[in-house]
């Protein structure tokens, strides 16, 4: 008799993650689990008990999915959907778990971890007072979301410990061995439990493999063909989604190769049509590029003036080499007008192509002399950005001012569309000006060049002078890296005792062993590679450093790595995410608060709030935050509860995740959700109104306001911590008013107001006030300055949002 397997298997997909409810968040994320309300992070989330007569304020939501608790403010939620009764598969394993003994209250740093054996047992050895502590653990429950691992009874001492792991993090072969031992292999219903587990966990290939094994082992059973067909269809849809992700990341060669070899067996016609449409889109783009290049080649060859033909030929060769899905839009005006009735001359069409390539199609001009001049202007800009000599830069600036078409507006567009000014393997200058805009009252780096080493596919080590020492960081580029594409980037800081390579492994995956077919190294294949992120791992720790120092040198190292990486790699300055583990998480937390203008998001993992963090908490309003902690990591959640509660309020964008029964570890279980969160966040425009706080002289610039000479009595050096009684953080406030007016409020000796068209209009009079007193008159205009624009692009290396002018007072 056919078995209604699909009815029982696939109907559960809709509740695969349902445990009480599903939250639809305003940012697009969905989080499922048992929902509770809490008065504070350190309180019992499901049993708030206010004192007598007190009224609990439960504005913080907590979602417990059995693996972790996720804390959010209720204003982050768009809707809460009631879930069905829990129907998740739960496979329980017998273990001799410890019900008495020493309770694990804090999990130290991991020393040794053995693999799970077929009985689901392993040894977890951690650092403890006086040495190390080894605990025998066993899997007691497996669900699609989490696997419960508990301490087992042992001699001479047992340890009570309930830890949760993401089931998705357990390799297929390991999980298969455990399930085969736990489930009777001669019982069909038990075997189908494993299929349901994989299905609810969206491990469709694993479910298919298990169901095929069941069909072989139970030939008398019927009704599996439809199940297998639908599993193949689900796997095909998952593959399509992966290909779409890779396509968005610019990995077109990989996508085309996988589309061409897409397995058609058992796949629905609609899915195969989608595959065909994706391949056709690639073919159409290829044909369009060939047509545009052929048309442009004929036009360039027809130019009568030899010099114009030569310069246009150089740009044609550049376009031919670099025309892609990213750059094709630059030639839209040329593509449309060059196939018309011939009303435009070859000179005008060539001008549209050249200027569109340099400035973007919306800024294209039909004056060939201006277009050819822009080619020279771009070359001068590149020289300026690469130059470490101030006198030579001044000479280049004079040449630029004399060049036809070199307006501030066009130079800004050229900057935006250029490749990074330093080639990946080009040493280049390493000068960092000692300006406050770069890094507060810091000594800049001296002249020198970088030492760059290629250590694997897309994997580079950069070492360059910085101050009296040097800066070292590692970079992992995503597959098919294109310097004309704009990539999100993760700046990551390691914890005590860990090398930057460990941070690369976390975000980008460990390098694969073996060699590729061409004999080269295989490289990495982790999440940043899938999603198309650049990862920058900063070597920021000093020898034997065990604590974050909150120092200017540490800030300078991180910010200098960010700037240097933006000079060499195509980093989208609106999608830079600062992260760190352990004391690297402490550093990320502090630096994210002290310099919020740089980040699209900050991700402290295993971090503890300390020192300046509590004084700067209001600065957190302007940056998204994602904290990851372990329930048993030395009480960090309780120690930082005041700060978490401050962030979990309206107008703040904060998520806190606490893993159940987990301690001091990397939390790779969370990485998929981290990329989902990052993918939904971009750095916004500079706020029109802000108030930030400072206790250190180098924490003195916030977006368009830079303050020099903050009150010494309010400045507290890390070595002089804690602050004396009566010290208050210095507020620095900026506000944009109607009518093209800016106001700055700060107790400082000098203020520089940085101006860009994103903030003000240069076509109207601009009024600026400092502490209520006018700096510019109501009828005064502020003119954009080419020198300010280029120097800002050179020092901050943010070519997407450079400042065009500045006003300093007094």
Q: What is the mean pLDDT of residues 647-664?
A: 96
Same domain, 387 and 496: no
Inform me whether the pLDDT recorded for 519 exceeds 80: no
Distance CA 411, CA 799 (A): 10
Query: What would the 3-class secondary structure string for 487-547 be?
Result: EEEEEEECCCCCCHHHHHHHHHCCCCCCECCCCCECCCCCHHHHHCCEEEEECCCCCCCCC
Q: Please check whether residues 462 and 577 belong to one and the same domain.
A: yes
Pull the structure tokens for residue 597. Answer: 């203008």
Mean pLDDT on 667-674 = 96
Q: Is residue 262 part of a domain?
A: no
Q: Quickly state the pLDDT bin for 520 (edges 50, 70, 90).
A: low
- The beta strands (E) that lie in 679-782 are given as 689-694, 701-702, 705-708, 730-737, 741-746, 750-755, 767-770, 773-774
Q: What is the pLDDT of residues 292-348, one digit of tens each?
A: 999 999 999 999 999 999 999 999 999 999 999 999 999 999 999 998 767 899 999
Domain holding 714, by residue range, is 702-809
**At residue 804, does pLDDT exceed 90?**
yes
Rounded to a whole number, what is the distance in angstroms from the first to the last CA of the chain? 90
Are 113 and 232 part of one and the same domain? yes
Q: Are residues 709 and 567 in the same domain?
A: no
**Mean pLDDT across 24-39:** 94
Joined tokens for residue 766: 């601009």
Closest CA to 45 of 631, 671, 650: 631
Single out the residue in 82, 104, 137 at which a domain terminates.
82
Q: Are 214 and 221 in contact (CB under 8 A)?
A: yes
List the structure tokens of 98. 């410890």
Decide: residue 154, CB within 10 A, 0-12 exposed, 13-18 middle, 19+ buried.
middle
* Predicted pLDDT of residue 339: 85
Quick check: 55 pLDDT over 70?
no
Average pLDDT over residues 518-541: 91
Residue 744 has phi, psi (to 5 degrees) of -125, 135
Instruction: Confirm whether 279 is domain-assigned.
Output: no
CA quadruple 591, 595, 600, 601: dihedral, nearest 10: 30
Of 407, 353, 355, 363, the closest CA to residue 381 belongs to 407
Pair 181, 232 in one domain: yes
**What residues contact residue 806 under an 8 Å CB cut-off, 6+ apart?**
752, 753, 754, 755, 785, 788
Phi-psi category of 594—alpha, beta or left, where left has phi over 0 and alpha has psi -120 to 50? alpha
The candidate with the shortest Cα–Cα distance to 503, out of 488, 524, 532, 483, is 524
Whole-angstrom distance, CA of residue 732 vs CA of residue 750: 12
Same domain, yes or no: 400 and 485 = no
Q: Residues 466-483: pLDDT tens digits?
A: 998 999 999 999 999 999
Q: Per residue in 371-418, pLDDT tens?
A: 999 999 999 999 999 999 999 999 999 999 999 999 999 999 999 999
Distance CA 645, CA 630 (A): 17
Q: Of 357, 405, 351, 345, give the one whose Cα is nearest residue 380.
A: 405
Whole-model pTM? 0.93
Parallel, antiparallel or unpaired: strands 701-702 and 654-659: unpaired
Of the residues 33, 56, 82, the one at which a domain ends: 82
In a domain? residue 271: no
Do 238 and 293 belong together in one domain?
no
Residue 443 has pLDDT above 70, yes or no: no
485 and 607 housed in the same domain: yes
Residue 254, domain member (yes or no): no
Q: Phi first, then psi: what are they for 91, rounded to 5°?
A: -105, 115
> What does the block give as tokens for 594?
């002290």
Give the domain CATH number at 599. 3.40.50.1820
- DSSP classification of residue 326: T
Mean pLDDT of the chain, nearest integer: 91
DSSP SS3 for 808: strand
Q: What is the pLDDT of residues 268-279, one digit of tens each?
A: 899 999 999 999
The C-alpha atoms of residue 352 and residue 593 are separated, in whole angstroms, by 45
Q: pLDDT-derived band of residue 20, with 50, 70 and 90 as boundaries?
A: confident
Q: Is residue 695 part of a domain?
A: no
Assess whether pLDDT exceeds 80 at residue 142. Answer: yes
> What is the C-alpha R_g of the chain?
30
Q: State the pLDDT at residue 742.
A: 97
44 plus 72 within the same structural domain? yes
* 604 shares a domain with 470: yes
Classify residue 517: in a domain, yes or no: no
β-strands 805-809, 750-755 pairing: antiparallel
One domain, residues 632 and 752: no
Residue 693 domain-assigned? no
**Residues pairing with 32 in the sheet:** 22
The domain total for the chain is: 5
In a domain, 638, yes or no: yes
Last residue of a domain, one of 221, 248, 275: 248
Same domain for 70 and 95, yes or no, is: no
Q: Report the distance separating Cα 630 and Cα 643, nearest Å.
A: 17
Under a CB-based contact definition with an 8 Å cutoff, are residues 476 and 458 in contact? yes
């Amino acid at each position: 008799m056919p078995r209604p397997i699909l009815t029982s298997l696939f109907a559960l997909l809709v509740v695969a993650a349902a445990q009480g409810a599903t939250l639809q968040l305003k940012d697009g994320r969905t989080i499922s689990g048992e929902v509770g309300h809490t008065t504070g992070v350190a309180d019992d989330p499901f049993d708030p008990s206010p004192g007598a007569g007190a009224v609990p304020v439960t504005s913080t939501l907590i979602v417990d999915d059995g693996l972790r608790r996720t804390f959010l403010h209720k204003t982050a939620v768009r809707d809460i959907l009631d879930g069905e009764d829990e129907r998740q598969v739960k496979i329980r394993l017998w273990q001799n778990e410890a019900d008495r003994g020493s309770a694990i209250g804090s999990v130290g740093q991991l020393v040794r971890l053995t693999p799970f054996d077929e009985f689901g047992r392993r040894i977890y050895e951690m650092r403890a007072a006086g040495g190390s502590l080894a605990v025998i653990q066993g899997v007691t429950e497996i669900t699609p979301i989490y696997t419960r691992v508990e301490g087992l009874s042992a001699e001479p001492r047992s340890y009570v410990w309930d830890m949760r792991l993401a089931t998705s993090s357990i390799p297929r072969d390991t999980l298969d061995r455990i399930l085969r031992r736990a489930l009777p292999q001669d019982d069909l219903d038990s075997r189908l439990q494993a299929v349901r587990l994989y299905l609810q966990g969206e491990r469709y290939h694993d479910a298919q493999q298990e169901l095929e094994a069941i069909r072989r082992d139970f030939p008398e059973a019927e009704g599996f063909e439809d199940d297998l067909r639908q599993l193949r269809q689900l796997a095909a849809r998952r593959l399509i989604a992966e290909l779409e992700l890779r396509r968005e990341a610019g990995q077109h060669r990989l996508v085309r190769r996988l589309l061409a070899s897409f397995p058609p067996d058992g796949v629905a016609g609609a899915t195969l049509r989608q595959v065909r449409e994706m391949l056709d889109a690639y073919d159409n783009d290829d044909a369009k590029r060939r047509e545009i290049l052929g048309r442009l080649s004929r036009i360039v060859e027809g130019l009568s003036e030899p010099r114009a033909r030569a310069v246009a030929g150089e740009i044609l060769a550049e376009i031919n080499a670099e025309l892609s899905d990213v750059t094709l839009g630059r030639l839209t005006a040329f593509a449309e007008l060059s196939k018309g009735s011939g009303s435009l001359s070859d000179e005008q069409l060539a001008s549209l192509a050249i200027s569109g390539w340099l400035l973007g199609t919306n800024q294209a001009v039909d004056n060939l002399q201006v277009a050819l001049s822009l080619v020279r202007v771009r070359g001068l800009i590149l020289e300026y950005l690469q130059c470490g000599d101030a006198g030579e830069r001044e000479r280049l600036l004079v040449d630029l001012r004399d060049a036809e078409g070199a307006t501030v507006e066009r130079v800004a567009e050229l900057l935006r569309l250029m490749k990074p000014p330093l080639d990946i393997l080009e040493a280049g200058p390493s000068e960092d000006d000692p300006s406050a805009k770069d890094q507060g009252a810091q000594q800049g780096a001296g002249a020198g060049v970088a030492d760059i080493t290629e250590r694997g596919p897309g994997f580079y080590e950069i070492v360059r002078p910085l101050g009296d020492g040097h800066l070292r960081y590692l970079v992992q580029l995503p597959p098919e890296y294109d310097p004309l594409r704009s990539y999100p980037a993760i700046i990551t800081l390691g914890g005590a005792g860990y090398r930057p390579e460990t941070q690369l492994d976390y975000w980008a995956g460990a390098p694969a062993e073996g060699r590729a077919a061409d004999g080269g190294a295989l490289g990495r294949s982790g999440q940043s590679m899938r999603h198309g992120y650049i990862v920058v791992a900063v070597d920021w720790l000093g020898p034997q450093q065990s604590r974050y120092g909150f120092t200017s040198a540490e800030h300078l190292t991180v910010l200098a790595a960010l700037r240097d990486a933006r000079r060499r790699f195509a980093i989208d300055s609106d999608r830079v995410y600062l992260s760190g583990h352990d004391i690297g998480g402490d550093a990320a937390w502090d630096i994210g608060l002290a310099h919020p203008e740089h980040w699209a998001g900050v991700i402290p993992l295993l971090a503890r709030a300390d020192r300046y963090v509590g004084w700067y908490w209001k600065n957190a309003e302007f940056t998204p935050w994602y904290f990851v902690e372990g329930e048993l990591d030395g009480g960090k959640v309780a120690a930082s509860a005041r700060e978490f509660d401050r962030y979990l309020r309206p107008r703040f964008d904060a998520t806190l995740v606490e893993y159940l029964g987990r301690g001091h570890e990397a939390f790779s279980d969370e990485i998929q959700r981290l990329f989902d969160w990052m993918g939904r966040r971009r750095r916004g425009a500079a706020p029109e109104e802000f108030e930030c706080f400072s206790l250190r002289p180098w924490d003195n610039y916030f977006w368009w306001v830079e303050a020099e000479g903050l009150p010494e009595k309010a400045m507290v050096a890390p070595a002089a911590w804690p602050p004396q009684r009566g010290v208050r953080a210095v507020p620095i406030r900026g506000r944009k008013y109607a009518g093209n007016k800016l106001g700055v409020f700060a107790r400082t000796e000098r203020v520089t107001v940085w101006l860009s068209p994103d903030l003000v209009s240069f076509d109207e009079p601009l009024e600026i006030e400092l502490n209520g007193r006018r700096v510019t008159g109501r009828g005064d205009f502020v003119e954009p300055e080419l020198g300010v624009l280029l120097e800002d692009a050179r020092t901050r290396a943010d070519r997407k949002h450079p400042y065009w002018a500045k006003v300093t007072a007094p």
